[in-house]
Amino acid sequence: MDKNELIAKVNACLAEEFEVEESIITPEAPIKQTLQLDSLSLVDMVALIENEFGVKIPTADLGKILTFQALYDYLAERA
Amino acid sequence: MRRVVITGMGIWSCLGTSLDEVRDSLYTGKSGIILDPVRKEMGFRSGLTAKVELPDLKKELSRSQRAYMPEQAKYAYCATVEALRNAKLDQDYLDKYDVGLLYGNDSSADPTVRAVDTMREKHDTMLCGSGAIFQSMNSTVTMNLGTIFHLRGINLTISGACASGAHAIGLGALLIQTGLQDLIVCGGAQEVNPFSIGSFDGISAFSTREDAPEKASRPFDRDRDGLVPGGGAATVIIEEYEHAVKRGAPIIAEVLGYGFSANGEHISSPNVEGPSKSLRMAIERAGVTIDEIGYINAHATSTHVGDTNEAKAIYNVIGDHRIEVTSTKSQTGHEMWMAGASEIIYSMLMMKNDFIAANINFENPDEDSAKLLIPAKRIEKHFDTFMSNSFGFGGTNATLIVRNL
């Protein structure tokens, strides 16, 4: 999967799971606010990423992934 | 003593997903039982089950709210929306006053099993997702309804096996009678997935009449061979009488008496003394004579020993008084944690519409059921007071007596 495909898949998965318009997911947008995640639903994002991309985001890394761009980069290195 | 009245009801069952639909199903004697091929693939002795529609709540509730709800909480939400609407209770009222919540529920197997599967496969608890803990607790229904509707009175799940729903209403009535609450959302919910009753199937408790699913649940019939599991949810709004009058609520019936007892014997086989005691206590507390009772909704689940001992208990208490006795489980299967609440609603629908639904599949009595007046066909009859029995594993018994208003 090239990076554009990865970005498209990430956006589609997150939009569907968290029931937001895909168009509001932009690289620099903050993940938590855009997807309206609280401490509980953040857990669902980790589970979704693991199920869809086979990448486990440890709690220590989670705090550093603040934007969608950061998430794309994190997954591109590991997926 | 403060009087306790019913001001609203709502239901989500195999007989329908509104009071009108359920009334019609009761009237026509429709069966809600099917054969589920998935259960046979899973190795069930009996693939029989009630068919209950899973509500799609995407438009009503947020993604987060739905994430914490197992199927029985969704059924309970739908039943409660209908009950609150019928009781003329809107969100403004719920936000302003302390409204209680007592709901019967005694399992949440599906989310528990799924979480355990994930832990075993992935070795990472985070991958269970955020909803698993809230979905798998026994109190899942009351925690979900309480937070969705912003209820701030008593909030408890009643786990009394197959008498859970009846105990919820009875205990709610006691809290209102004693002045601790004015209004309580009561009910019972039951999950319908195979995981929840697989081990129940394993103790040979279920009917295996798979060639005729609609004939399988046959309470009191001589040729019964076990129960059929069912489910859904039923909500009954109970309220202090003057409180209901003051807010202009539709007052539809009065909870006159709640009787209870425990057998303290075998974990699954009921006796006769315990249920008899529960019936007598309800009658005494209701302050009615046996002649005033126009209908008895039996617990009878279509098991040999259960139906026999209940028939004996009822006969012990009513003697030769000719009161119609039926088990609506002939149509619904055994709604277990929900049954005590749903059967109040089924009986209410009959009482309000002047009929007694047929005890379908009652073709031949046995020695004990022959002593009771069990109509195999629907009868048109006006009655103003009924009694409803609910008994559960461990020997817990509950009886409610309700009067028309």
How much is the pTM? 0.97
A60 touches chain B (CB under 8 A): no
Set B162, B167, B186, B243: catalytic member: B162
How many secondary structure helices (H) and strands (E) does chain A include?
5, 0
Q: Is B247 exposed, middle or buried (0-12, 13-18, 19+ CB in 10 A)?
A: middle
Ordered structural domains, chain B, with CATH = 4-246 (3.40.47.10), 259-404 (3.40.47.10)
- B360 in Cβ contact with B224 (< 8 Å): no
Lowest-pLDDT choice from A58-62, B87-91, B148-152: A58-62
CA torsion sign for B233, B228, B217, B37 is: positive
pLDDT at B226: 98
Task: Return the exposure string of A44-69: e unless at least 16 CB atoms fall within 10 Å of the residue's CB, then b.
Answer: bbbbbbbebbeeebeeeebeebebbe
pLDDT in tens, B339-363: 999 999 999 999 999 999 999 999 9
Measure the CA–CA gap between B400 and B282, rounded to whole angstroms: 6
pLDDT at A1: 81
Mark whether B162 is an active-site residue.
yes
pLDDT at B35 over 90: yes
Measure the CA–CA gap between B311 and B305, rounded to whole angstroms: 10
pLDDT at B67 over 90: yes
Strands (DSSP E) along B178-300, which ranges? Answer: 183-190, 232-240, 253-262, 295-297
- The two tokens of residue B45 are 């002795």
Contact between chains at B129 and A50 (C-beta distance less than 8 A): no
For residue A9, which of A77, A58, A76, A78 has the smallest C-alpha distance?
A76
Measure the CA–CA gap between B126 and B118, rounded to whole angstroms: 9
What average pLDDT does this structure show over B84-92? Answer: 98
Nearest-Cα distance to chain B for A33, in Å, is 14
Measure the CA–CA gap between B19 and B25, rounded to whole angstroms: 10
Ordered structural domains, chain A, with CATH = 3-78 (1.10.1200.10)
Chain B from 119 to 158: CB within 8 A of any A CB: 122, 124, 126-131
B43 touches chain A (CB under 8 A): no
DSSP letter (8 states) at residue B55: P
- B262 in Cβ contact with B394 (< 8 Å): yes
Mark whether B334 is an active-site residue.
yes
Which amino acid type is present at position B22? Answer: V
Give me the residue label for tokens 């609407």. Answer: B85
pLDDT in tens, A1-45: 899 999 999 999 999 999 999 999 999 999 999 999 999 999 999
Measure the CA–CA gap between B360 and B300, rounded to whole angstroms: 13
Give me the residue label for tokens 């929840």. Answer: B196
Contact between chains at A47 and B63 (C-beta distance less than 8 A): no
pLDDT in tens, B278-332: 999 999 999 999 999 999 999 999 999 999 999 999 999 999 999 999 999 999 9
Question: Beta strand B295-297 with B385-392: parallel, antiparallel or unpaired?
Answer: parallel
Q: Residues of B with CB below 8 A from A42's CB?
A: 130
* Reported ipTM: 0.91
Measure the CA–CA gap between A55 and A48, rounded to whole angstroms: 10
Q: Residues of B with CB below 8 A from A46's CB?
A: 126-127
pLDDT at A79: 82
- In angstroms, how far apart are the furthest CA atoms of chain B? 63
- B125 in Cβ contact with B156 (< 8 Å): no
Nearest-Cα distance to chain A for B151, in Å, is 22
Q: In what order do the strands lie in the sheet with B4-13?
A: B155-158, B100-104, B183-190, B232-240, B4-13, B253-262, B396-404, B385-392, B295-297, B324-326
As a whole number, the mean pLDDT across chain B is 98
A61 touches chain B (CB under 8 A): no
